[in-house]
Structure 1
Amino acid sequence: MHRRITASGALAAALLLLAIPASAASHSPGAPGIGDPYYPAYGNGGYDVSHYDLRLKYQPATDRLEGTATLLARTTQDLTRFNLDFLLNVSEVRVNGAQAAFTASGEHELSIIPKSPLAKDTPVTVVVRYSGVPSAKQAYGFTSWLRTPDGGVAAGQPEAAWWWFPSNDHPLDKATYDVSVQVPDGTQAISNGTLQSSSSRAGWTRYSWRSNKPQATYLATLAVGKFDVTTGTTESGIPVLNAYSKDLGDRYGAARASVERTGEIADWLTEYFGPYPYNALGGYVPNTDTGYALETQTRPFYSPRQFANGSNTSVVVHELAHQWYGDLVSVAGWKDIWINEGFARYAQWLWSEHEGEGTAQEIADYVYASRPADDPFWTVRPGDPGPENQFHLAVYDRGALALQALRNEIGDDAFFTVLKGWPAKYAHGNASVADFRRYAEQVSGKPLAALFDTWLFEPSKPGAPAARDASIAKTPVTPEQPRSWKKIAATNDVHEHEHAE
């Protein structure tokens, strides 16, 4: 399942450990995890990456990927050894130009021992040469590499990078990216950001993409296949590139009718969240059999199943809202997932209001009234749901309900000031649920700890007095189902990842 380590590689690692000079006695290995309690082995300690340069070659017929990854990083401690998260077969590692020993450990770790210990706060260049068949690799019993009839796709949350490039795989370590992919002529490679160039030679075409703003590793994406590509610009001047697999069948029209509205929807979202934060925009729909969508930065991934019953602009609203809430401002830890999902769901409620199909208040009233107190839905705490419930429907619907309660408590002026100011305050960084509460208190001038506890952290349905205080479902009668509800509910599995075993 994992990389094979040759005897010579293991011996070299052992010899290098013995060869560490006495002057490096204060140096120590970087942690094999970044410290997230939900996923203790994800990410790594001891360094911070600023840029990934990925030069790849992919053969769709065999799913074989070859690559050279160059990571620009800076140490955050004195290091004798450090880890990358990765699954494919590694043939060579260099650190600051010198060959380094390496070995596999755990489910998805590449442990690297540089020729000389690394001092704290110094720049480091790491080069990793590798190859393998991503779909043949598993960790924890699943794969996040999606095989398609004409290629493959890397798109998954909270992990996807391990299957196609070595990384520090946690949202706390954002970086810029250059992704250059060589594929057979007639096949395209889609990634994040802007297409810098494409050129063909000897039967192969190379596509070079650039993401020039900090990007979390799970938001990096790669799709190789045969696509119909459309280009344009938003009314505000952002270039848009969308891609649709040529073999989507009868879902092609609905997918295109939805995703082609990306520019319009992104411009509309700026009214609530502030200026669009990147220099590229778009979406892509490969021919996968998964059910989820994902906010891959600048170019969201959509499953064809999202369009099985016709056009679905609500899912486009959801993924584009994440460009601010989730991408521009990312979670400090995966327990803060409400910062992503509650807000993207609430954007769908605002879109319903915009389309005249039910106000956010009407949807909130319906969500509250339509689920009895003994529904397990209410036992999930959106503010810290646990890894087993990270993408539970309650994080979305109860999470958005909490935002409507906040809106009613602090008033529209303060609420929409918070929605727009938050992405600006933490732009290209990370933040927690506690950070958001403090920010909302600062803007509104009101104490909000009790409200946040009731709607985000209590493992039970907020009682009628709390609902009345928040102006939620003020009458005992279950309100009529909003017209937009079926469209919103059709996106309930938007991030319900189906790890293929």
Structure 2
Amino acid sequence: MNQRTPVRRTASAALALLVLAVVPGCSGGVEGRPGAAGLRDPYFPRLGNGGYDVTHYDLVLDVDPAAQRLRGTATVTARATQDLSAFHLDLVGLTVDSATVDGRPAAVSRAGQKLTLRPDAGVRLSEGHTFRAVVRYSGAPRTLTDPDGSKEGWLRTADGSVALGEPTGSMTWFPSNNHPSDKAAYDIAVTVPEGLAAVSNGEPAAPVTAAGRTTYRWHVGEPMASYLATVAIGRFDTKNTKNTEKSGTAGGIEVFTAADRAVAADSTRILARIPEVVAWEARRFGPYPFASTGAIIGHPGDSGYALETQNRPFFPGPPNAGLLVHEMAHQWFGDSVTPESWRDMWLNEGFATYAEWLWVADKEGVPVRDSFDAAFRDDANWAFPPADPPTAADISQPPVYGRGAMVVDEVRRAVGDDARFFALVKGWTKAHRHGNASTADFTAYVEKATGRDLSELWSTWLYGRSRPAPKG
């Protein structure tokens, strides 16, 4: 994601949840307990849920863009990680019309963002059991205001809508285990009025039109965090090609782009650079981690920021090369190697910002040291340590980006050899490919790879609360 700035970025249900929390084995066909309602994320403690691991989402949406309403069916396939008497999904604003678990009707209760499903007495959700929950829902999806003032969730656009989910907004349009630590494969089908397009993540099937409405289907085979899922609905010029860059790490992948027709002509040149950027980054960060790439370019004003939605980042208007490089770098750092919690956001943004520094060094002759020095002099980068933002409103603020990139460059200096440094980076993306990683994972990995105790580096650049003296 590019840096966000404000505007630039029933009592009965609660009682039902309380009963679920204190009565083991209540409802359902197995002696167990409800999964946790929240994963105690440092900044969003109610986000996500315990007791199961999602392996696949099948989302079928029928959208009325004029009324900004949808009808949806979410089929959630998951494996129980404990004996479950009930479990939770994250969903806000929409009405649940019905739900089943393993084909049997499930009892439904709501409290805040938590949708609780209690399986029928004949359904056993014992530890290790793979089960399937089907939730049918409808209504007008909400737009959420983040702690930093930016908008996410379901955003209305000039001719449709776009769903952007970082950090919490995906729960406005589908029920999920809405935390980055639980990644899954996806199939997404969206039906819209004929003449509009629906663009999502992954690889497309041929659209089908009947009775004045068109269904678009998308498949995401690699694991994806819920915050990276997107649907963009509108009038787009689309293009689907193969990456012809001569690179064994990026060649041959599918490149799907969609540009709002109002800015399509102005987007042509930058979209044509996607294969170049992906191949350039693959040579530095390791094999491109997905089967497709691309971009979605909306109309300026659709949102106040770009976002690294998996396979094809979303941009509010044609981006410059630096922003394209930043969001594409997130395909490695954030999308493939996903943070364990929102405290680890600097691992996304620090590396993506560093990719920009590397790009201008290669393409414009601006030494990385000059970019480092500019970031070092910027007082905004020293407001707090990048690995310890003080509040949820700070996870997308300058220290996470600029000082995060300084951490990466300090690691490069500690390694002392560019070939060894980029081998270290490629090893990191390989070791955690399609998984999750924390700051502690990163520091331990670097120290093991270098055979050095780098405690001083971490205490100064990653966790230090004051700016060190400039280096000579």
Q: After the TM superposition, which residues 29-68 of structure 1 pair with which residues of structure 2 at under 5 Å, given as runs?
A: 29-68=34-73
TM-score (norm 1): 0.84
Question: Which residue matches 1:378?
Answer: 382
Q: 1:79 to 1:207 in 2, by over 3 A?
A: same
**For 1:134, what is the secondary structure of its paired residue?**
coil
Q: 5+ unaligned residues in a row in structure 1: which ranges? A: 469-473, 475-501
**Conserved in 2, the CA contact under 8 Å of 1:414 and 1:443?**
no
Question: Which residue matches 1:174?
Answer: 183
1:409-435 C-alpha deviation (Å, 9 max, x unpaired) = 211232111111101001111111111
Q: After the TM superposition, which residues 466-481 of structure 1 pair with which residues of structure 2 at under 5 Å, given as runs?
A: 468=471, 474=472
Question: Which residue matches 2:262?
Answer: 247
**For 1:74, what is the secondary structure of its paired residue?**
strand
> What is the distance in 2 between the residues matched to 1:355 and 1:164?
40
> What is the distance in 2 between the residues matched to 1:18 and 1:79?
9
**Conserved in 1, the CA contact under 8 Å of 2:384 and 2:465?**
yes
Question: Which residue matches 1:226?
Answer: 235
Question: Which residue type is aligned with residue 77 of structure 1?
Answer: Q
> What is the distance in 2 between the residues matched to 1:459 and 1:362?
23
> What is the distance in 2 between the residues matched to 1:120 and 1:190?
37
Question: Which residue type is aligned with residue 121 of structure 1?
Answer: G
Q: 1:241 to 1:20 in 2, by over 3 A?
A: same
**For 1:319, what is the secondary structure of its paired residue?**
helix
Measured after TM superposition, the shift of residue 312 of structure 1 is 0.4
Question: Which residue matches 1:115?
Answer: 120
The count of residues paired between Structure 1 and Structure 2 equals: 445
1:338 to 338, 346, 350: 346
Question: Which residue matches 1:480?
Answer: none
Indicate yes or no: 2:462 matched with 1:456: yes
Measured after TM superposition, the shift of residue 254 of structure 1 is 4.0
Identity of aligned residues (%): 42
**Conserved in 2, the CA contact under 8 Å of 1:50 and 1:174?**
yes
Indicate yes or no: 2:146 matched with 1:133: no
Question: Which residue matches 1:328?
Answer: 336
Measured after TM superposition, the shift of residue 6 of structure 1 is 10
Q: 1:23 to 1:124 in 2, by over 3 A?
A: closer
Question: Which residue type is aligned with residue 433 of structure 1?
Answer: T
Range with greater deviation from structure 2 (410-419 or 56-65): 410-419
Question: Which residue type is aligned with residue 245 of structure 1?
Answer: D
Question: Which residue type is aligned with residue 395 of structure 1?
Answer: V
Measured after TM superposition, the shift of residue 143 of structure 1 is 5.1
> What is the distance in 2 between the residues matched to 1:379 and 1:18?
46
> What is the distance in 2 between the residues matched to 1:136 and 1:361?
41
> What is the distance in 1 between the residues matched to 2:204 and 2:401?
33
Question: Which residue type is aligned with residue 39 of structure 1?
Answer: F
> What is the distance in 2 between the residues matched to 1:244 and 1:343?
27
Q: 1:223 to 1:355 in 2, by over 3 A?
A: same
Q: 1:418 to 1:23 in 2, by over 3 A?
A: same
Question: Which residue type is aligned with residue 157 of structure 2?
Answer: T
Question: Which residue matches 1:315?
Answer: 323
Q: 5+ unaligned residues in a row in structure 2: which ranges? A: 1-9, 246-250
Question: Which residue matches 1:270?
Answer: 282
Q: 1:190 to 1:416 in 2, by over 3 A?
A: same
2:165 to 156, 163, 168: 156
> What is the distance in 2 between the residues matched to 1:401 and 1:269?
19
Aligned-residue Cα RMSD (Å) equals 2.5
**Conserved in 2, the CA contact under 8 Å of 1:161 and 1:220?**
yes
Q: After the TM superposition, which residues 389-400 of structure 1 pair with which residues of structure 2 at under 5 Å, given as runs?
A: 389-400=394-405
Q: Show structure 1 runs of 4+ deviating over 6 A.
A: 4-7, 136-142
> What is the distance in 2 between the residues matched to 1:113 and 1:138?
31
Question: Which residue matches 1:486?
Answer: none
**For 1:418, what is the secondary structure of its paired residue?**
helix
